[in-house]
Every structure is written in structure tokens, then in C-alpha cells.
Amino acid sequence: MQKRTLGNGNLEVSALGLGCMSMTGGFSLIPDRQEMLALIRSAVERGVTFFDTAEVYGPFINEELVGEALAPVRDQVVIATKFGFQFDEGKSSGVNSRPEHIKEAVEGSLKRLNIDTIDLLYQHRVDPNVPIEDVAGAVQELIQAGKVKHFGLSEAGAQTIRRAHKTQPVTALQSEYSLWHRKPEEEIIPTLAELGIGFVPFSPLGKGFLTGKIDENTAFDSTDIRSTIPRFTPQARKVNQALIDLIGIIAERKEATTAQIALAWLITQKPWIVPIPGTRRLERLEENLGAVTVELTADDLSEIESASANITIQGERYPEHLERLTGL
């Protein structure tokens, strides 16, 4: 597995990470825990060293799963988790990045992950009620205390990133980025390039849509978050199929899958971009990892660029109440 470095903090990780959110629910019924433990360990065996979780996934049980799975290889992997939500009776009830709450959240994450230090700690969503300088300062204190190694932000806007970075250097930004969500190219990626901050795209496969396995006739269970997302209505999927058709042309030529082309495109954008596709199946994990060896030429990239410019993606990426939580 190829390695990449995130930011000027010299955090070295595998060229593809593994997003673990769906391993404790979110896209359907909660999968078998033993199977998910085995899947995470299979990823390690295949060279993945970068694993992504958060306290809100579950909530809490995702960190426990990741911690247990990686305990035997703790010194070989990078574990990223996130703070930033308030919990009432075990459910998220909004954002909370007050410094005292951050420190409480980190203590909980350390315990659930069963580790002494969090390799990369993200603010999960920007808290409009807490100055980002206070957030960065709290994480700085945690770094000085040896409880955190690197500071990250998620879904933060360019000015927020700049302000945080002045207080405590930001190693990585995690935000959605893929062939069907390219907004980060406007301000975010240039800002990261200027400041020397790595980029960790989540949903690099468009919550499964860019695998080419979903069409307008696909049915989603009511427990599946995609059943609430405007971009996944049958009409939107029918229109958005044009992007899959485009990727499919490149995939056929490269003897690859559409998922591999979508991931290879991301990796090719910058040497400091590390996507974290999630999966709950070993065959999908292996397929995703195969993207690292797919070579897209300048002509391939130009073809994707010119053709995709004529495709307008239909539907918002989140329901309105969740879209308000983004800082973009």
C-alpha cells in the first residue's frame, strides 16, 4: 500500500483510509459486530493504516468497535476520531464545542478506543456559538498534555480554517469531496494548499452512488440515511445516472470498476488527499484498495473534466436540517 503525508504535521497514512461509520448502522440495520471486527483487521492486513471514527457514530459504540479491532496493532495504525456534539439521553442534540466539553469528549473517546493518545482529533462540525480560536486552543492544550497528536477540522469554511490554523496548526480537513460534490475546489482546496493542510474526503463514493450499483429503482430501507437525502430520490438518481455513465466509459477502458475510477480520480487531484471510503464487505474493501493502482492519464482526466462540466447533479447532499450544520 502506498503512503501519503497529511499536512505539514508529517502525519503519514496509507493512500486510502477506512471510514468506519457504517459499521455500527446508518445505512441499514446494524451489521454483525464480529464481522466488522474481522473486516477492520482485514484492512490492516491489506496495508490500510488510517481508520476513521467519531463519538457520534452509534453514538459511542463505533469507537469501541474500532478500538477493539485495532488493539493488537495499535502501534502500526493512525486512529482519527471527532468531537463536537452534545448528547442528551444517549442521542445527539446539537453541536457543542465548548472547551470544557471538548476535554470531556476526549476523555470518553480515549476510554472507548482504549488508547493513550488520539492520533488525529477533528472538530466534527463548526459550533457557531464558540470562537474557533477557543476550540483550537482547547485542542492545543490536549496536544501539550499528550492526549492528542494532531488537530483536524471537518466541513469548515476557508476563513474558519485560517483562524484555527493561526492558533493551533491544522493537520487535516475532513469534508465531503467526490466527482458528484466538487464545491471544495472553489475555496477549500486552494486554502489547504496554501497552508499545508491535508485533505481527507469522506463519502468519496457518494454514499455508494458512484459505485454504479444504485439506480432509480433501488429501494432504501427506512433506517437507511439515504432515504432522507434529496440527492437519492428516484428522480434525482435518474438524472444523476449521467455521471455514472461517464465514469463507466473510463472504467471499461481501464479494466476497472466505476468505484475504482472515482477513487483514483480523487487520489490524482493532490498528493495530500487521502479518501476514506467506508464499507461493510470484504469484496468492496478489496475493490476500493485496487483504486490505488489505477493510473489516470492527463487525457483521462481531461476527458472526465470536460464531460462532467456538462452534467448538473440534481438534489442537495443532505436534508435541510443537516445541511445547516456544515460550515461551507
Question: Length of the chain in residues, anyone?
Answer: 328
For residue 14, what are the β-bridge partners? 3
Residue 325 pLDDT greater than 60, yes or no: no
Q: What are residue 95's DSSP bridge partners?
A: 85
CA atoms of 158 and 323, how far apart (whole Å)? 17
pLDDT band at 324 (very low <50, low <70, confident <90, very high): low
pLDDT digits (tens, 9 = 90+) for 198-249: 999 999 999 999 999 999 999 998 888 899 999 999 999 999 999 999 999 9
What is the three-class DSSP state of 21?
Answer: coil
Q: Which CATH architecture has domain 3-207+269-294?
A: Alpha-Beta Barrel (3.20)
Strand order in the sheet with 50-52: 18-19, 50-52, 78-83, 118-123, 148-154, 170-176, 198-202
Q: Are 100 and 54 in contact (CB under 8 A)?
A: no
Phi, psi angles (nearest 5°) of residue 120: -140, 120
List pLDDT tens digits, range 258-309.
999 999 999 999 999 999 999 999 999 999 999 999 999 999 999 999 999 9
Q: Domain spans of the chain?
A: 3-207+269-294
**Active site amino acids:** 57
Count CA atoms within 13 Å of residue 245 on its CB side. Answer: 9
